[in-house]
Every structure is written in C-alpha cells, then in structure tokens.
Structure 1
Amino acid sequence: MSTIQNQTQQTGLFQNEYGYFTENGREYVITNPRTPRPWSNIISNGDYSFMVSQAGGGCSWRGNAGQNRITRLFQDVIKDSWGKFIYLRDRNSGKFWSAGWKPVMAEYEFYEVRHGIGYSVFTQQVDGIRSELTVFVAPDAPLEIMQLKVTNNSTTARELDATTYFEWAPGFAPDEHREFHKIFMNSEYKQDLNAIQLEKYLWSFPDEKGRSNNVSWPYTAFHAASETPSSFDADKESFVGMYGEESRPQAMIDKELAGNSGRFGDATASLRVAINLEAGASHTVVFTIGAAEQEKEDADALIQKYTTVEAAERTLQDVHAFWSELIDVEEIHTPDPAMNIMTNVWLKYQSISCRLWGKTAYYQTSAGYGYRDQLQDSQIFLTSKPELMRKQILMHASQQFQEGDVLHWWFTIRGGGPRTRCSDDLLWLPFIMDAYLKETQDYDILDEVTPFLDGGEATVYEHCKLAIEKTFLRFSPRGVPLMGEHDWNDGLSAIGYEWRGESFWVGEFLYLILGNFAPVAAKRGDQVFADKMVEVQGSLKAALNKYGWDGEWYLQATNDDGLKVGSKENEEGQIFLNPQMWAVISGVADQERGQQAMDSVSKHLLRDHGALLLYPAYTKVRRDIGYITRYAPGLRENGGVYTHAATWAVWAYTLIGQPEKAYEAYSKICPPNRSDDPNGYVGEPYVTPGNSDGPISPNYGRGGWTWYTGSSQWLQRMATNWILGVRAENEGLLVDPSIPKDWKEFTYRRAFRGATYNLHVDNAAGVARGIKEIKVDGKVIEGNILPDFRDGKEHEVKVIMG
C-alpha cells in the first residue's frame, strides 16, 4: 500500500485489513481490492439489475439473469475477471489503467470502493489522475448509469481518454454456446445518440407454434455516452486483439478504436471519450447501459433522457429517495453496533435488492422464484411496504394446482417449473399468510381470486385451505406427515421418495400452521374446517411426541424403509437442528422436552459460528438419505452452519426462556462480528452468507454463497421480533424484550397499521426479561400490547423493564 493510501485512509466500524463500515453503517468502504473473495454489491430496481465486485467485475440483466442477461459474465469467484470496464489512458505516455482495479490491476496511489444502498463508488488515483466512478440503476427505468469524474491532481496539463468495454450476452446465459449465440447479434453505432445499439435475432424460447429457437430477443440494448466519442468499437476481436487479454487489449495500444459493428463479429461495446485537463481541473462524463423492450419502450428516448451529467446527478438523488422509502421506516438503536447496522440497513437491502429483485449473485444465478423462498423473503416488506408482500402472496397463490400442490420454483419469464414432490413447499402459503394478517389485518386478501396452473381459480383462502388439505392426505399410518422427495432440507432427497418416509419437522411446521389458521377459518364461518384443524393438531402432537422423541432430542425423519434419521442410534447425522427448534416454536414440545431439546442444541450444535444444521457430519455417502451426504463433510447442509436455519435458533431460545443463548446464537451469525478474521471467513462482512463451514471442515468458519440467501430476512426478523421482542399480533403490537442483562436501554421506531411507534426501552434494572410498566403517550397501559391507533400519527412508548 502506498504512502498516499496510508495518509488518506479513514477509520470506521469493524475495520480490518480490507475495509470498514462508515459510522452510520450505510456504506461499506473497501480500501484493498485484493479481498479474499469478490466483495460485491447487488443493485436492482425490481426489473433491471447488475452486480459489481470491489474489483469492478460483474454483469447486468433484466427480469432474471438466467433468461435475460444483458452483459456477459462467466461465473468464477477466484478470478473475477469479467465485467463492464472503463480504461483510463494518458495519451502522451501511453500508460493505461482501469477505473476499477480489474482488469488492468495497475499500481495505484489510492484505491477505495464504497458499496452503498443502491450504488457503488470506485475512487482511484494513478499517476496523479484521480477517478471517481459511481454506478447505479435508475429507480424507474431499465438502465444503469456509470458516472465518471476525472480530476487532474498532477502539476501539469494532461491529455487523457476514457474507454468503456464489455461483452454483450443478450437473452439466455449459455456461455458454453457463445460461438453459436454471437452470430445472431447485430450492433449499430448511432452517431446522433453517441451510442451503440444492439439487437439479437434469437431468444431461446419456442414460438407460438412450439418451434424452437424461433423468436427474436424482444429488446434493444444500448450503451451511450454523454458526449461525442472520439471513436467506438463493437467487436471483441478488434478490441482485445487475437490472443490478447482484457488486461492489455489491442485497443489501448491503438490511437483510436477500430469502429467495427454489424452482424459478423463478436458483439461487444466500447466508446472512447477524450478528456483534456489542466492541473487541478475536473471533468465528468456519463455512460449508460440498458435494454428497452421494443413494443413498450423507446431506446433512443431512454438514452436521451438519462445520458447527461445533469440527469445522472438527479437520478442518483432519486436512488437515495427510492431506497429510503424501503429501509428507513424502521430503525433501532441498541448497544450492539453490529445488530444496528445489519437491522437498519444491510439485511433489508440484501433481502430486497438481491433476494427478491435481483435473484442472482456471485455464487448463484437464478432465473426464477422459489415457492417457499421468496414467500419467506417478502416478510421484509411488512414494516415498510406491506402492499409488496401482498403482491408476492398473490403471485405465489397462482402457482398452485387444483390438488393443492405447487411448483417448487418457476421461471419469472414465461413461467414454468417443476411440480414439487416436496412436502413443505405448499404449506408456506398459509404460514406466511399468518404473518401478513397479524401485521396488516388485511383480511380482504383472503377473498382475492387467483388462478390455478391447471385451470380454474379460487380465493386465496381456498388456496391456503387446499394446501393444508393436501398435506392431510400425506400422513403415515402412525399419523406423521410424509417426507416425499424432501422437506425444507432439500438435501434429504432420498429419504421419502416412495412416500413412506416420515418428516417430524414437517409435522411440527404443520402443527404451528393449524394453530394459526384455525381461527382464520372460524372467522370466515368455515367452522367444519376449523374444527378439523384443531382435531388434527391434537393427534399430530401426540404422534410426534410418541414416535419422534429420541430420548434427548427429536428425530428428523424416518426413511422409506422405516430407519431413523437424526437419532442417537445413527453413526452419523445423529441430531438435526430443525426438529429441535420447531418443536419449541410450534408448541409441539412441552416445557420439559422443549428445554431438553434446546439443551441438546446447545451441547451438540451451537458452535463458534452459529448452530450447525446437523452433527456429526456425514463422511460416507448414504443413498437412502440423499445428496446431503454427498457434500464434503462440514460443507453447507452436511454439518455446516446453514444460516437460514441457524437464525431460527434465536427464536427457539427466546421461547424456551434463554435470552442469553438467543443472543449468543444471533451474535455468532451476525456478519460484522466476523470482521476480525476476514481471510478465514472470506465472505462480505455486510451481508449474510448462505452457510459457514462446520468444525469437520479444514476451512472451519469459512463463509460461502453470500447475498443470494433466504437468511437475510430471517436474521432481521430475529433481531426485531424476538431479541427486541416487538412483534405484530392480531390485537396489536406486542412488546416482550429478550435482551442481554447488561443492555441499559434501546430504542426502536417502526410503522404499524398506519401509525408510527417510537419505543424507548429502559433496562436500568439490568434484567433479560420482564416488563414493569409501559406508558403510551404518557399514559400507563395494561399488559404489553400497544394500542392499535391506525391514525397516521406518531406515538411515544416508554417501556420500563423489571
């Protein structure tokens, strides 16, 4: 690191050798681009998205990254060598570098990347030339903006140029068929727009008669500059040079770009803009990349509207306002800065921008919605925009068949997906409905009519009812729900394939749903079904405790041959996390068994970096259990910390009356707390990972599959609902903190049913649980459920613990 870098480096929260959080937690600042894995930002407006790493790698897409990619990226988290690059060049010396560290990887005097909410800023200084590249997506248009400000900090005038470069990859993203797909692309330089436009005469869908590969990509992609380029190129061969590389392309040797375009090359986009600067002077140029739907949008108009310096500044302010509406409605202040940062900012942003909207990150590209996945994720909207959760619920209801089963996942463009044989997918609709109704009391949603996939339609209430009734048909002779192809744990893919194996976890999950949905049925006058659910609940609880209790903990399952899974009798995989937690969460376990099950979690599963999904890991392949046993031992579901499930341990410990364990389970999976070992953890410390390696792995504690994981929403919900203890109930907002004893106070502001509640919790008594008094607007209330005002006003809530 150079002297200039050391002189200008700031300090912040959770600092390590690669970066830190700013004091307000809204930016993560990376000061060394050589991070152990790509530390990225996933930026989306719900339609158009891109990802960008700290080195400048990444790609763009619209709708989803599998069916409608715009720019090319070959998945490689080690090299991170693909992106949308801007080269800077001194035209007199011939020296060139890139505005992000990649691809040139030049020696720099200063380098910093600020990943923020809806934007990233790359600041670099090389040979006295400072560049500041700000990248973001317009909130209301299918395009991204690259705003480049160049400042001459040297003592002499400089003649420079800025050259963009990326590869097009319109439509499906089949990188192995590049040589085929490139011959259907046609690029054209439009001088009056300072832009390259691209069309593709192939989209890998059949036409209306089922003829394969017989439709055009229905978009016009574009790349434009805010001022007249000195030259352009739209062909990879002439830009990179035969046997050249992006780090030293032919284009940076040649005085000007080759000017190739048309149908007979390998479609790329490159614009070169001259920048002449006196000493101390600055100049800003704006580039845009986008894709306009030909029948609905005008590519030329989008270019003209957004590709100016003034438009870029205005749009960036719109980005800030756009994201503020989604994340600033709810805010906490506790003695735990990691919890504050993640709960207030990053978990909401990760859940929305990546998980729900972008649906893609460096470790996984997705072309669709998971039935249960994005239903769970949509809970992130409850405190800010519950109407968006409502929209998600209606979308998922329409992915059901008349029998009550659903698609396991489906493509977001043109639909279609596998009809699930999974035992829990269909049940997430009534489960999530409970959270939505408790938050909003919007019972009208139950009367909304949505279609079935195989014809006909039904109300949302009927969709929920069908899901439950379908599950009633999938019980073993012992009264335990059947596993099917798998339950929540996809890796248990061979346990119950023949519909004989049982899932005790599904039984617990169903038990909770029945208890929540029976009052909904009764409220609608469907008393027969309500009574049926109560009856099944009773027999289910008895069966789960009779056949599922293994002496110190609950079994996960039995397989098709009746063998126990998750039992002390097993050589490997003796105890699974989910059935212990959900026995408590659901109420299946009584106090004694619930305590014993969670004590077993504490003894066997709660480790340095969170609760393991199972223990001990499988070291031998078990064809009668599934592909979970084929993972390397300690990796992902096979004895690692699967973060999604590990969040639920917080919930269970709280319910069992162990606030200190709940906070421990939370803290171990809260990402900033891993900042002290970035080279061991390797993942970004500002978003949740899908998993961390378990103790049997040689990389114990290593994080993986960051960003695109369902754990982010749940971790946010664990902090607010269960540690801070403020959660929606039908009667109103319940307050029941479960906090570390040494917390003297915390505050929590959140919207609820049209009103805003400002809570100040005083814990001068130094207790972990218990409320002595609650005052609302200065008046003492009975109990711990706040009044349901619905008046559009702010209300002050003073809670005294004791």
Structure 2
Amino acid sequence: MSHPFECKYGYFSDDGREYCITTPFTPRPWGNIISNGDYSLMISQNGSGYSWRGNAGQNRITRSFQDLIKDNWGKYLYIRDRKSGAFWSATFKPVMHPYEDFLVVHSIGYSRFIQVIEGIRSELTVFIAPDAPVELMQLTLTNLGEDTRELDVTSYAEWALGFAPDEHREFHKLFIDTSTDFTLNAVFARKYLWGFPDEHGRYNNINWPYTAFMAVSEPLVSFDCDKESFLGMYRSEEHPAAMDAQHLSGRVGRFHDAIAALQVAVSLAPQQSKTVVFTLGAAEDEKEDAAALIRRFTSVEASRQTLQAVHDFWSRFVDGEHVETPDPALNFMTNYWLKYQAISCRLWGKSAFYQVSAGYGYRDQLQDSQIFLVGDPSFARKQLLMHAAQQFIEGDVLHWWFSIRGGGPRTNCSDDLLWLPFILDAYLKETADYAILDEAVPYLNAPAEPLYDHCKRAIERAFSRFSPRGIPLMGDHDWNDGLNAVGTLLKGESFWVAEFLYVILGNFIPLARRRGDECFARRCEDVRVSLKDALNRFGWDGEWYLQATTDAGLPLGSHENDEGRIFLMPNIWAIISGMAEGERTRKVVDSITRYLLKDYGTLLNYPAFTKPRPDVGYVTRYAPGLRENGGVYTHAATWSVWAYTLAGEPERAYEAYHKICPPNRSADIDTYKAEPYVTPGNVDGPQSEYYGRGGWTWYTGSAQWLHRVATHWILGIRPQEEGLLVDPSIPAEWDGFTVRRRFRSAEYEIHVRNPEHVHRGVKSLVVDGKPLESNLIPVFADGQKHVVEVVLGRKE
C-alpha cells in the first residue's frame, strides 16, 4: 500500500499529521523545530541539533555549529551491550551503526526515532513540556532476541550556556562550573559569565542567571562533565573513549570543557521492554528550581503524561480550523504543518537550520502572528502590542530587536512601520476587538499612547517620506531587504510601498472615522488619491509596473534594464491594492505569467542579476537564481496566488499555489532536496545550476502566508467585521470542499458543493436551514455550532 506523497526518503501519515522518514540519508537535514514559546530545540532526522531558551543567539543551552553537510552537532544517547562491547546510538548520528530497521517521525510538538540494531529495538521520543523549560527524551528499549541482554545507556550533550560565539569558545568555556547530585540522578551546569553588561555598564561581569541540568529516571551508574575524558583527545562522538571504558570518569568542576553525560544500566529479558527518561533544561535562578523541575518530569509516568499534554497543547493552536478538499497537499499543509511551522519556529523558536535569530523582526513576526487568528486570537493581540512597544514617538520602529533585554537597529526601512496598521486590520476583521485600539502602549522614547495613535504615527511618518513626484521613498530598503542601496540617500522611490500604503489607507480611513478622527480620515483619502495617480503616471513601464527608482533616478524593474527587468512585488500588489485597473490589470497579469510564473513557483524578479550593482544592493551579489536574485522567494510567491485570484484568474492562482505547496515536490525530491512538509524560504530559479532546489526551510514567513492564501483566497472564507464572507476561487474540477473553523464565539461548519463545476460564484447559501440572500454569513455570538450549506454555480 502506498503512502501519501511517498518518495525515496519518506512519506506523510494517512491523516497528514506526521511525516515519516525511512532513511537517514536525506538530501539535506530534514528536521523539526519544537518550542513551547520559551524553551526550544532543533533536531534533524539524524538526531543532531541543539536547545535554547528565549532565543538561540543570546541564550543557547547546548552547543551547535551550522553545518548542513555534516549535521554532526547534537545531544546524543549511546546504547552499549556490556557483554560484547558493541555500541550504537539511539539516533543515526553520531555512531552511524548499520541498522536492521529505521524510521523517524516528525510531528506536531515531538519527534520519534525508531531503530533495530544488534537485536535491540529502540524508540526515542523527543519533546518539550508545554509549561516548563524542560525537554524530555523518552527511550524505550525492547529485547527482540532470546537471551537476556545487559545494556547501558549513556547521554552526551555539550554545554554552551548563554551567548554562542563559537570563535570565542576557549574563552567562554572557562566560566562554566559543573556538579552532580546522585539523589536526583542529575548533573548541573552554571556559568559565571553572560554577555550583557552589569548595572554599571561593565561587560563580562555578571552570571548567566540560569542553572542547566540533565537528569535520568534510572539510578546513575556513572557520569562525566568533561569533554576531554569522554571523547578522548583527537577522537569524535562517533567513537568516544567513553565507549571503550567500563564507566564514565566522573570528572566535575570548573576546570574542564563542560558536558553532561549520564550512564545507567538496563537489563532486558527476552522480549522485555523498558523505558528510560532523560530530561534536560535550564531553570531561571530567581524564579525556578532546577531540582523541582527534575523531580516533576524525570520519570516514566511523568513523561507519558507530559507527552499527552503536548498533544493537548498543540491542539489548541492547530485544530480550531480544519479543511477537507480534493487536494491532500493543501489539506495537510493547511490543517497542520503551516500552523505548526509558523508558531513553533517563526514566532516562538525564532531559529532553524539555515538561520539563527536572536529576536523578533518588526514586520516578520507581525505577519506571522496572523496564524493565531484561527486558533487563539489572544496571541495575535499580544504580538500587536509587543510590536507597538518597539516604536518611536516619531512613528518609525526598530527593524528588529533582541528578545532578551531588547535593543536593535533604528533604520530608514520604508515598510517596517506600516505593518502595524496592516496586521491590526486583519486582527479586527477576525475579532472585532476594537478595545485594542485604546490599549496604552509606551514608545521607546516617550510615554504610552493608545494603539490607535501608534498606527496613526506610523502612517504620518510614511507621509513624511515622499519624493517630489508623490511616491514613497525607498530609504534603506522596502520589503525586499536586498535592495539596500537603492534609496539610502533618500532620493530613490519604492513603487511597491506606494501600493502597500494605498491598501493600508483604505483600511484605516473607516477606522479613523469610527473614532471621530475625521480630519485624519480626509487626509488619508487625499493621499490615497494622490498615490494612485502618481503610481500610474510614474510607475507604469508599458507592460508592467516599476519596482523602484534609484537615488540617481534610474529605473529598476523596467524594460530598459538588461537584468532585473521585471519584479514580482509591485505587479502583484498593483492588483492586490486595486491601483491597477482595466487594461493595465490584464497586461500586468500577462507579464507576471509570461516572465515570472515558472516551473517551481513565481520568481521574485527576472532575469537575475549576474554582476553586482552597488547602486541596487546585495540582491545583485547573490549568484543568479539564488534567493531574491531571480529565485522563487516563497513569501512573495504566496502573494501571487492572492493577486491571480483578485484578477479573476482562479486556474492561475491554483497553479501558483500548487507549485509552491511542499508535498507536491515529493515527485522530484532529489531536485528539491528540502523537507516536503514545511515551506522553504526560497527555491532556486532557472538561472541556477540547481534549478528547483529548496532552501532556508522552517524559519520563513511564507508558512503563515501559504496558509492564508489557501483559506482566504482559494477556499475564500474571509472574516469581515459583519461576518464570514464566502467567496471561493477553486479549480473547476473540484466537487466541493468543507471548512470547519471558529469565528468569534461560534463554530462554523461550511460545506461547499460545486455541482456545475465552476471556478467561482455563490449560487445559494443556507445557514442552519435558512437561506440567505448574500454570501456573508452573519456573526453568531452564541457559542454554538452553525452548519452552512453553500452551492456554487451561475445564478439565473
């Protein structure tokens, strides 16, 4: 029996909730980013990865090194037959022992590693407690043979503790102190150094304010806290000296290269199974007790209960919305993986295999927070207020900021500040929580004002940065960070920002009027009219819209350019914003389709730059076809789905979606290389020698947007202030689909039938047996379930 989207490396479970990997030799590390919003870990199919708390740059707990070829840094468990001396690891790395059976399951909040080696079946499940800074490694060993087996299990993790500058490893390791407690079957690690200054501004003068620990549920046979004695000089994790010794050396204290290694004995009669639980974590000294955390979680029963709590925890965010369509790739990604990727990695973990982040991007996690709207909008509310607090009284914002102790760059980026009112609009349409506008939020350099005023100041700041022609200035860059030399002299223009601002003003005008701010509403209307006129006068290039003009006044994204002739962003947003009308809309759609919609999605620009242009920016310094330079930048490619839908091109919209929906790349997985269960940041474009290769997976804003364009624009279920709008734009061959989702205080079960096999058009809509004249389902504030029957077709 074949499995869904099966390829030579793995497949989805039948319900799509798990991805099963059948070999350690995937084309790139295929991993999982697991987080509870505070404590996080990364783990690959080989068992490699690391842990952090808060963020991976300022507060890394275990050591790692970014090497996707070797994938050889991790927290490992060794299993050894004490009679024969044979040893292997509970994951493929680091020992890489030949196996009889191998399976890795990545899923929502956990990863499971199953191997059969030397007649022993091992099943290792890795997860994080939902409400504590503790990860659990639940190892079940089963003796498949006919003789009793005497085994030992040995853990290994290398401490980092705080900032993670590997180039200063020899300095940082000098400040770590380790200890052991046999009553707790645990070792502890503390560090007398953190990278922050003390209250007098003196660096290297405060303690790391946590206690790290590793504990095990079985009595300790031996332990070691010294990397040198465990590995042996000039040896590696593949065959450490510890596996040649009867017991671990028991070294501890302040004079070693600090690790955590615990060894326990396991005796297994024929066919007997035994579970051993290891825990690892970091307790904040002023608030938490490491010993209490160890006692709470380090047992077999506690581990089982915690794993069930993990399932319940993630159900809160994942199961509030469920779709059933004829497209299993859309179902799997929309129901589970996009929500999980956006929350666990982008919003909470904030790091992954290709990128380590120490904090929040202003525009980035604001966009990502839209994923909370279908599960628990209170988390989106919290994110909005958090970002508002990173604004200056002048209206501009930090481009990004550290999540521990704050601080970040104040730039002239032209779009960052505008995402606050943009995402606010999405939040209000979902929740109608207008009370948020009165939430008082302090500025970085001024006292608190209501959130409404924060948004207004952002818009007013944008108004102050226009060219003489009435086009917003590019500044340091717009959404495309790679255009970082186009407008640094504050002369270059961004036509995309003009379109983005146009959308925001359209949403904000009724909000201003609602609050009696008529003067500002009229001003926004005037600017909006001016923007549309200026864009169509100065931004139109004959067949498409320009991306920008440089500080020197040269056009970018024009037929006059040999390279970077057409850019995706200003053209899809000309449609999204409604600034392109009539024949121009048709020309724009044709140009996008002709030049940018390729085999693996919609390119960000074309043709790629082949030589650096110092007046444009680092986008021109990528090899042609990589990332923003002529590649499929997935974040923007999702918006092409939105634009095609608005342009009345449902088949093109679905084509653009299908090409970037990861499970569909299982068919050419050796070209794609990346995980087929999470979105990549980019796919190589046609000028790359690896055309079609995915990269920068997990930590990408494309996850939330791929979810949103599927639900809002293909399935067409869109929250409005007055209710849920039903406006599908689907492949004509679909018989229909079903969406179950919460909206405000009620649950909606929406069944859409398509008997005439049309692309779009609601012929009838019935709610709880009562027909409606429109395709807007009203708000039911009753906490009940409501059944909606929708029939698509041509109205008579």
Bin of the TM-score, shorter chain as denominator length: over 0.9
Residue 259 (structure 2) pairs with residue 262 (structure 1): no
Matched, 1:626 2:652: no
Tell me what 2:711 maps to: 720
Which one of 789, 793, 800 corresponds to residue 784 of structure 2? Answer: 793
The letter of the residue matching 1:770 is G
Q: In structure 2, what is the equivalent of residue 150 of structure 1?
A: 141
Q: In structure 1, what residue type is equivalent to 2:342?
A: S
Report the Cα offset of residue 458 of structure 1.
1.1
In the alignment, which residue of structure 1 is the partner of 2:53?
A: 62
Q: Which residue does the alignment assign to 1:115?
A: 106
| DSSP 3-state at the match of 1:596 | helix
SS for the counterpart of 1:719 is: helix
TM-aligned CA deviation for residue 591 of structure 1? 2.8
Match of 2:94 in 1: 103
Corresponding position of 1:328: 319
CA distance in 1, matches of 2:264, 2:783: 52
Query: What is the alpha-carbon distance in structure 2 between the residues aligned to residue 527 and residue 67 of structure 1?
Result: 46
Aligned equivalent of 2:579, options 579, 588, 602: 588
Q: Which amino acid aligns with 1:612?
A: L
Aligned residue among 570, 573, 581 for 2:564: 573
- Three-state SS of the structure 1 residue aligned to 2:740 is strand
Partner of 2:181 in structure 1? 190
Deviations 1:153-197 (A, max 9, x none): 012111111100010000001111111001100000111110001
Counterpart of 1:381? 372
Matches of 1:668 and 1:112, distance apart in 2: 28
Q: Which residue in the other structure is 2:38 paired with? A: 47
Mapped partners of 2:241, 2:412: distance in 1: 54
For 1:592 and 1:801, locate their aligned partners in 2 and report how far apart those are by CA, in whole Å.
28
* TM-score normalised by structure 2 residue count: 0.99
Q: What is the letter of the counterpart of residue 62 of structure 1?
A: R
- 1:766 corresponding residue in structure 2: 757
Question: Which residue of the partner structure matches residue 306 of structure 2?
Answer: 315
Post-superposition CA distance 1:577-605 (Å, at most 9, x none): 00010001011111321221111000000
Higher mean alpha-carbon deviation, 588-597 vs 245-254, is at 588-597
Q: Deviations over 1:293-321 (max 9, x none)?
A: 00000000000010000000000000000
Distance 1:87 1:764 in 2: 59
Q: What's the CA shift string for 1:311-355, capped at 9, x where partnerless?
A: 000000000000001100100000000000000000000000000
1:293 aligns with 2:284: yes
Secondary structure (helix, strand or coil) at the match of 1:467 reads: helix
**Aligned partner (choices 697, 702, 714) of residue 706 of structure 1:** 697
Secondary structure of residue in 1 paired with 2:183: helix
Deviations 1:9-31 (A, max 9, x none): x7421001110000000100000
Given the alignment of the two structures, is residue 214 of structure 1 paired with residue 205 of structure 2, yes or no? yes
> Which residue type is aligned with residue 75 of structure 2?
K
Matched ranges for 1:674-689 at <5 A: 674-689=665-680
Residue 734 of structure 2: aligned partner? 743
Deviates more, 1:720-729 or 1:583-592: 583-592
Counterpart AA for 1:14 = F
2:156 maps to which of 165, 169, 193: 165
The residue correspondences of 1:463-478 to structure 2 (distance < 5 A) are 463-478=454-469
* In structure 2, distance between residues paired with 1:109 and 1:196: 34
Separation in 1, partners of 2:582, 2:113 = 54
CA distance in 1, matches of 2:678, 2:135: 23
2:194 equivalent to 1:203: yes
Q: What SS does the aligned partner of 1:284 have?
A: strand
Task: Verify: 1:525 aligned to 2:516, yes or no.
Answer: yes
Q: Alpha-carbon deviation of 1:457? A: 1.8
Which amino acid in the other structure matches residue 131 of structure 1?
Answer: S
Aligned to 2:359: 368
SS in 1 for 2:106: strand
Aligned to 2:70: 79
- The residue matched to 2:147 in structure 1 has which SS? coil
TM-score normalised to the size of structure 1? 0.99
The equivalent of 2:644 in structure 1 is 653
Cα deviation for residue 694 of structure 1 reads 0.2
- Trace 1:123-138 onto structure 2 (pairs within 5 A): 123-138=114-129
CA distance in structure 1 between the partners assigned to 2:712 and 2:586 by the alignment: 21
SS at match of 2:410: coil
For residues 322 and 670 of structure 1, what CA distance do their matches in structure 2 show?
Answer: 26
Residue aligned with 1:192, SS: coil
Q: Which letter does structure 2 place at the counterpart of 1:172?
A: F
Give 1:606's aligned amino acid.
L
Shift of 1:620: 1.3
What pairs with 1:229-628 in structure 2 (closer than 5 Å)? 229-628=220-619
Q: CA deviation at 1:372?
A: 0.2
Instruction: Please list every run of 5 or more consecutive structure 1 residues that lacks an aligned counterpart in the other structure.
Output: 1-9
2:84 maps to 1:93: yes
Q: Specify the SS of the correspondent of 1:431.
A: helix
Partner of 1:35 in structure 2? 26
How many residues get paired? Answer: 793
Q: State the Cα distance separating 1:455 from its structure 2 match.
A: 2.4
Q: Secondary structure at the match of 2:137?
A: strand
Please, which moves more after superposition, 37-46 or 590-599?
Answer: 590-599
In the alignment, is residue 226 of structure 1 matched against residue 217 of structure 2?
Answer: yes
Query: What's 1:174 paired with?
Result: 165
Deviation at 1:420, TM superposition (A): 1.9
Q: CA deviation at 1:730?
A: 1.5
Equivalent-residue separation in structure 1 for 2:296 and 2:258 (angstroms) = 25
Matched AA of 1:281: Q
Q: For the residues of structure 2 that align with 1:53 and 1:75, how far apart are their CA atoms? A: 12
The amino acid across from 2:548 in the alignment is A
SS in 2 for 1:675: helix
2:667 counterpart SS class: coil
Query: Which amino acid is 2:298 matched to?
Result: T
Could you list the structure 1 runs, at least 4 aligned residues long, displaced by more than 4 angstroms after superposition: none
Deviation at 1:778, TM superposition (A): 0.6
CA RMSD, 1 decimal: 0.6
Rounded to whole Å, the distance in 2 between the matches of 1:767 and 1:532 is 42
Cα deviations by residue, 1:649-680 (Å, 9 ceiling, x for unpaired): 00000000000000000000000000012211
Query: What's the secondary structure of 1:189's corresponding residue?
Result: strand
> In structure 1, how many angstroms separate the alpha carbons of the residues matched to 2:432 and 2:582?
31
Tell me how far 1:703 sits from its aligned partner.
0.3
CA shift for structure 1 position 456: 1.6
Give secondary structure in 1 for the equivalent of 2:374: coil
In structure 2, the residue corresponding to 1:193 is in which secondary structure?
A: coil
State how far apart, in whole Å, the 1-side matches of 2:764 and 2:29 are.
Answer: 49
Letter in 1 for 2:97: A
Amino acid across the alignment from 2:23: N
Residues in 1 aligned to 2:458 and 2:773: alpha-carbon distance in whole angstroms: 39
Q: CA deviation at 1:745?
A: 1.2
Distance apart, 1:63 and its partner CA:
0.4
Q: Counterparts of 1:608 and 1:155 in 2: how far apart (Å)?
A: 55
Q: Which amino acid aligns with 1:521?
A: A
Contact 1:580 1:594 in 2 (8 A): no
CA distance in 2, matches of 1:29, 1:499: 51
